[in-house]
Amino acid sequence: MKIWKMAVKIPEECMNGDCYEVSGRYMMDKHLAGLSNPVLVHGTVTGQGRIHGVEYDHAWIEEGDEVLDMSRSRNIHMPKAVYYALGQIKNTKKYDYETFRKMVSKYKHWGPWE
């Protein structure tokens, strides 16, 4: 028996985001300025709107109980609990600055690494 999967057409503007680089640069900027102690998070998110239900890998920043998502020139700030619920977040990996620095040095790119 053959099981068919329906291909989901993802709009061009929703592909090839910059979340890993933007979040990584934020980590470096904040560390160099000594202004905060952000945590870089990589995880799986479930899309909304035009990509409703599509799971994809994503990166964002957490500072305390707040999430900052600056991908694609957005400036989303919201409580972590709300962000996780809306995005149906799973499979997260969290990186403090030192771990982030080691991963970028080891893999020579912004992520994902694991």
Task: Please report whether residue 60 resides in a domain.
Answer: yes
Domain of residue 36 covers 17-107
Domain count, the chain: 1
Residue 12 binned pLDDT confidence (cut-offs 50, 70, 90): low
In a domain, 36, yes or no: yes
Residue of 64, 58, 114 whose CA lies nearest to 87? 58
Band (pLDDT 50/70/90 cuts) for residue 114 is confident
Q: What is the pTM of this model?
A: 0.85
Q: What's the mean pLDDT in 91-108?
A: 97
Q: What is the average per-residue pLDDT within 57-68?
A: 96
- 63 in a domain, yes or no? yes
**Is residue 99 in a domain?**
yes
User: Does the residue 27 lie in any domain?
Assistant: yes
> Does 21 map to a domain?
yes
In a domain, 112, yes or no: no
Please indicate, yes or no, if residue 7 is contained in any of the structural domains.
Answer: no
Here the tokens at position 25 are: 């640069």
| pLDDT tens-digit map of 17-55 | 899 999 999 999 998 888 788 999 999 999 888 888 889
